[in-house]
Structures are given as C-alpha cells and as structure tokens.
Structure 1
C-alpha cells in the first residue's frame, strides 16, 4: 500500500525539457514506485502542488535558521540548518564547514557522521571548505588558520564520514598525488580559494579533481594569455562548478556565459549563512560581525561573507538572469549536484526506483514544501 501520493499540476521529472501536466507520484517505503495519471493513483495520503520537481540539493550551505555550522558543529545545528533550507525548497544538503584553526574540521566530520548514522532528514554528507586554501585567496576565511594539508589530515579525510564528502582545497598548495589519494577514497575534490593557473588545474583534473567552488569567486580569472582557474573549469569537460546566482556574487552576463559553456556541468549553490530563513540574524566570522543589507552579506570592510540566498531563489534567478529554462534551472539544482556526488541513480530524477525526494512549488517556483525520502515537510 502506498505511503503518500504527490499530485502535481506540472511535473518536471529531471530528464525531459518539457514538463508533464497532471501527474501523480506514488511513494512507498521511501522510494518512488510509480508516476501515473492522478485517476489511477492508489488510495493514500495526498500532497498537492502546482509544480513538482526532483528534490533540490545544496552542496554549499554554511548556516541557516540563525546559526552557523562552524560555531556549533553538532546535531542541533544540523537540524536547524536543514529546517531553514527546506523553507527554500532544499531536500538534501551538504552542511559546509569553513576554515577553522588546527583540526577543527574533524568535529564537523564527527557531527555529520553521527547524523548520517541516524538518518537525519536532509543531511546528505559534508562539505569542508578549507583550511587547505591559498593564503592569497582566503577571502572571509580566517587567514591565520589557512594551512597546508599534512599526512595526518590525509588519513583523517580518507577515513570518511559514512556518506558523501566534498573537500575544497587550493590545488597549487598540494600535489596531484594527494588529490589522487583523496579522490580514490571517494572524496569529491574541488578547487577553490585558489591562485592556481590553467595547467595546475588541468593536472589536478587528471589526478581526480572533480570541480570548482563558487565559480568566478576567490579564484584566478580568465585573461588572454592566462586562462586561470575559471578558464580551466570552462575548458575541461571533466570538471563541474558550483555558482551563486544571487545577482551579487556573479554578474548576470557571467551567469549566462557559464550556463552556455558549462551546460550539464554547472550547478546552483546558496553559500547560505545564518540569515537563511532568519534574515535579521547577525553572525561573526573570524571575529568580524557580518550583517545583511539589501540581500548582501559583508563585514565592515565590505568583504563578502557568503550569501543571503535560498535554493528556490537561486533557481528563479537562473531563469530570470541567467536565461535558463525552468527545466534546465531545476536540473542545475538537483540532477547536476547528484552527479557531482555520484548519486545520479538515487537522486535528481522522478522515476520509479528513485529515492522519494521531491520539491513542491507554487506556480511561480517558490517553494511550498519538500518530501525527503518519502517524508513530507
């Protein structure tokens, strides 16, 4: 007997460019068992939405609901972040722990390991953004804590967390051999906060580098005779890239350019902070108070500190500013991030056998609810 039926006025299945009208998604045991005409749906509890799409996946989110993961890397923080993310349509997320002194990142690994062991709804894995970055490109990350990746770090990272782990590092600050070992352990290695040139990024891609973190931000740019990291991400079809579509971090012309050049490899992230679903929240990074004004998060000197952005807003911005179709923008927020983590057989599509993770929208693509592994929120 079905556990839940989701009735969609319009269904984006994550594959077709054109949506289908009036579909019923039948869910049982946390999986999709059928996609059918509503008249043929079995008797079960029902959720209705104007638009239904595969559950949105955010691979870079630092906080939400008034809290920051770095401030308290524990289960309570993860729950608050997941709840805040769901308000913007995110079904699954990688809570992101940024640069911290010493081996502070290991507390984040332990917290997420415990959350995964107990199947905490929405917590898909972990993103460690640093501390193995370029001192020249630390941005809002505490520069005093940026450091090289050592042998003990390598062992700790390769031990894993029991689920997907994404690591952002500066490839010029390590070696292809280290990247190969990380990738061999199943870690999605991304380049970011980096001065790496084109050749260094391409060599890292050959060793297993998977992509780049927040495209155009905190990385070497394109010049005529020096393509930089941006040029390497454009150039190498093996590489993915996350992008912050908030009309602050990236100019709309560059959103459109990246969408065309990296079709099928570009995905949306929020880089959200404590203000997600708590717009008046103030927080501190490296002793600097961060405030939100007109959607922009910055310290007193004007340095950007993440984004005040939800995933449904990112999808709408990619349509409005980036020229994407709704189907394309939704894939950038679901199917592509699933591929980054090697989960394309589990998430990112609405089809029998897939995990029952859906995002429900109103007619304007504003989030109206989510279903996470068959559980409605």
Structure 2
C-alpha cells in the first residue's frame, strides 16, 4: 500500500502492516501502480492545440485530457511559431504554474530554431537563428522546467551557451546535422527529440543525428511508440543500444487525443485522425494520436520488459528534467503521484500529489 499525507509519500507497506485505523484507504483491485507517467512532448488534447490557445484554461483542458489517459505530468509543447506566440505560450504557462494547475511541469518549445531540410510538419517560414538580444527579451519561466528542441547546426554558439547558462534544457531535433556540425555544441545538448523522426540518418560514412543519439550514452533520447512514426524493431534496437535510464517515451500527441471528432487545426489546416494516423495535406505525419497508456501497451507488445516500459514512461523523463529527487519513483519523500492501471494497462485512475482523479 502507498501511504501519503499532504501530497507526499510517507511509506510503502503491506496492508496487513497498516495498523492506524484512522487512515483513509482507497482500494484498486488487481491494479498495477507505477510512478505517474510524465509526457514531455504534448502538443494538445481535448480538442485544443497549444499553438492555437496558450491560456491557462486551454492548458488545463490539455492536462485533463491526458490525465484521463494515464499521464500525470505534462510539458505543453509549442510547435514552431512566431516570437509573439512564443511570448504568449511562456506567459500562459507561467500563469498556469502560478495557479498550480495539476500536472503542469513547464513548457517545451519545439522550434522555431530548426532545419528547413528536416522541418516535418513545422512551418519553415518561422525558422530563425536567435540572437542574444532576442533571447534576453523572452519571458522565460522563473518556475517550472523549459525544454527547447533545436537544430544545433542552425543555432549560433553564443545562443546555445546563453540557454545553458539559464538552465534551459536543450534537445537536438528537426536537424540535418552531421557529426562535424556537433563540434563544440554537443556539450550543450542533453538529449534528442523523437529519435529517427526529422533527423539526418546514420549511414556507412556519416553518423548523422540518429547515430549521434545512439552513440552517446550520456544523452537522452525521446521516441514515439505509435507504430507509425518509427518501426517497432527500430525502437527495440534502440532500447538494446542505449542505457535503460536514457530512453524517454513521449506521445507527441495532438488535440485529437480526447476530442469528440478526432480532429484539430494546425496553422489554419484541419487535420483528422484516420486509422490512428495524423497526416497533413503534404503527406507529412502531423504529430501523433496516441496516449501514454497506449504507448506503454505497444512497448509491451513489441517485447520491451514491463519494468523498462514504465521506466521510459516516468522515471527517465523525471531524470531528463532534473526532477529525479521528487518525481519518477514511489518512495518516501517523493510527490504522492502515481498512474494506476489494470492488468491490460488501461488507466483506472491518477494519483496526483495526494489527489485521486478517476478515469
């Protein structure tokens, strides 16, 4: 049994050893209880896209949609946009954090400092190399975590150093870089966004971004396990190559997750889910229509050990965000947060800092 008080885990005990009759007990029969799932790349949910609405109420709609599907904590993710919208997103998350929105950890800015050659569904008209004068004027978060996905070859050295100095976590993604392009820049990068997707491939004569991600054991790699973005065998291979504590499961979920009609609007274009796939008018994958619980179920089906799958869905993300001393584990002193599943990995409820949300 998980014993908690005031949002903090006190102990883990057998039911027979629970002697205090005044403790309120909630039972979940035949349940799997894991550290709360953490998704560091969520573009939308409940019919809302973060790119279209950055208000605290929109953020809460996104959090609620994913909470019903097993995700306790989220980084709302802004897809490449104009500086004004980046300002709005940072300000919206700042306000939502101040209002203590349940499950909000910060923000993920996916671009717009990306490579046109690996743009995916991003609008290349928004891409630019940020100057220091531009960076200092953004309303960066004073609480919560900020993750930025960028193409190292498209960003100047001074900007990378400034972002590092201000404790902004940098992942490489949507990048066409060669190994040489990472010279003097790799130390500023702590991970790689959605492994295999929108990054230069590994070849016999060039590591590319894929090879760099797989080669460097001290770097995180996030990946999408919907079976459409990446072939399952490539995920299994990566899980064999990378240290177990360096692979981070993400959904890259769009507003279609938890919505009525499975559709959303991105850059003025309506995109709908068809047979589990989201594709824009250019034929590019436009994010994913999948939850964390479905992603975990896929990993188990593909042969990933259950303990490793849960680690990818929670603990590793907490470590990647430098939150490993408060999230990602079920042990005394940590936040009382857990994902409660049935034996088929369907979500029964979420425990979020001492509050139970039933699915």
TM bracket, shorter-chain basis = over 0.9
The corresponding residue for 1:82 is 63
- The DSSP-based 3-state class of the residue aligned with 1:272 is coil
The corresponding residue for 1:191 is 172
- The DSSP-based 3-state class of the residue aligned with 1:218 is coil
Contact 2:220 2:247 in 1 (8 A): yes
Partner Cα distance (1:203, 1:296) in 2: 38
- The DSSP-based 3-state class of the residue aligned with 1:257 is helix
The corresponding residue for 1:234 is 214
Of residues 153-162 and 266-275 in structure 1, the stretch that sits farther from structure 2 once superposed is 153-162
The corresponding residue for 1:366 is 346
* Equivalent of residue 163 in structure 1, options 127, 137, 144: 144
- The DSSP-based 3-state class of the residue aligned with 1:103 is helix
Partner Cα distance (2:28, 2:168) in 1: 37
* Equivalent of residue 16 in structure 2, options 39, 46, 51: 39
Partner Cα distance (1:271, 1:159) in 2: 23
Superposition pairs of residues 217-296 of structure 1, within 5 angstroms: 217-263=197-243, 264-278=245-259, 280-296=261-277
The corresponding residue for 1:182 is 163
Of residues 40-49 and 66-75 in structure 1, the stretch that sits farther from structure 2 once superposed is 40-49
* Equivalent of residue 143 in structure 1, options 93, 105, 124: 124
The corresponding residue for 2:7 is 30
Partner Cα distance (2:246, 2:88) in 1: 31
* Equivalent of residue 76 in structure 2, options 68, 81, 95: 95
**TM superposition shift of 1:85:** 0.5
Partner Cα distance (1:104, 1:152) in 2: 18
Which runs of 5 or more structure 2 residues have no equivalent in the other structure? none
**TM superposition shift of 1:161:** 4.0
Partner Cα distance (2:50, 2:249) in 1: 20
The corresponding residue for 1:357 is 337
The corresponding residue for 2:113 is 132
Contact 1:82 1:122 in 2 (8 A): yes
**TM superposition shift of 1:202:** 5.7
Of residues 42-51 and 30-39 in structure 1, the stretch that sits farther from structure 2 once superposed is 42-51
Q: Across the two proteins, how many residue pairs are aligned to each other?
A: 352
- The DSSP-based 3-state class of the residue aligned with 1:241 is strand
Structure 1 runs of 4+ aligned residues shifted over 6 Å read: none
- TM-aligned CA distance change 1:258 to 1:367, over 3 Å: same
Contact 2:131 2:159 in 1 (8 A): no
Give me the CA root mean square deviation.
1.5
Partner Cα distance (1:370, 1:116) in 2: 19
- The DSSP-based 3-state class of the residue aligned with 2:58 is helix
Partner Cα distance (2:52, 2:151) in 1: 24
Which runs of 5 or more structure 1 residues have no equivalent in the other structure? 1-23
Partner Cα distance (2:271, 2:160) in 1: 33
- TM-aligned CA distance change 1:340 to 1:153, over 3 Å: farther
Partner Cα distance (1:171, 1:158) in 2: 22
- TM-aligned CA distance change 1:161 to 1:71, over 3 Å: farther
Q: Does 1:337 align with 2:317?
A: yes
Q: Does 1:48 align with 2:28?
A: yes
The corresponding residue for 1:19 is none
Of residues 31-40 and 195-204 in structure 1, the stretch that sits farther from structure 2 once superposed is 195-204
**TM superposition shift of 1:158:** 8.0
The corresponding residue for 1:209 is 189
Relative to the length of structure 1, the TM-score reads: 0.90
Partner Cα distance (2:7, 2:25) in 1: 14
Contact 1:282 1:290 in 2 (8 A): yes
Of residues 275-284 and 58-67 in structure 1, the stretch that sits farther from structure 2 once superposed is 275-284
Contact 1:158 1:182 in 2 (8 A): no
**TM superposition shift of 1:366:** 1.2
**TM superposition shift of 1:46:** 1.4
- TM-aligned CA distance change 1:279 to 1:178, over 3 Å: same
Of residues 179-188 and 212-221 in structure 1, the stretch that sits farther from structure 2 once superposed is 179-188
